Structure 1
């Protein structure tokens, strides 16, 4: 991936889309950072599934699964990521 700098505010305003299914996963809620190596490990996205018995766990997307960061979207390869794609 290109080494372009993005601010946290600009990343949080970009919608995350799975390139395999075309599903819109939502927007970044938080980042998981390795403070020792100064690297982003993964991004957290709120789980969209809501229902009587659904858990409200966040979807954790490893940084390595991000394929492209565009102007207003972040494309990911969601092959091994568990999320509800209703």
Structure 2
């Protein structure tokens, strides 16, 4: 079992291209079932990490494949590299 607060310290990595996607910001939970529906990752930041430049990324729970000690693996289609770059 993993606590929600432990997700903040884990790297979220895409299996398809090995890209680090950013820290977990929040969870979407189905109020009727109490199950996690999605992970919400914080959008990229710029200007010394003070200003957000991108939108938050919502990853459906079905695409979360593995929880490791330091990493959470997700299976997303690769995105344009510019999405990953911190400007």
TM-score (ref. length: structure 1): 0.79
- Which residue, 10, 18, 23 being the options, matches 1:22? 18
Q: When the two structures are aligned, how many residues end up with a matched partner? A: 80
Structure 2 unpaired stretches of 5+: none
- Which residue, 51, 54, 68 being the options, matches 1:70? 68
Q: 1:76 to 1:82 in 2, by over 3 A?
A: farther
Q: Distance in 2 between matches of 1:8 and 1:82?
A: 29
TM-score (ref. length: structure 2): 0.78
* Contact 1:61/1:81, CA 8 A, preserved across alignment: no
CA RMSD of aligned residues (A): 2.4
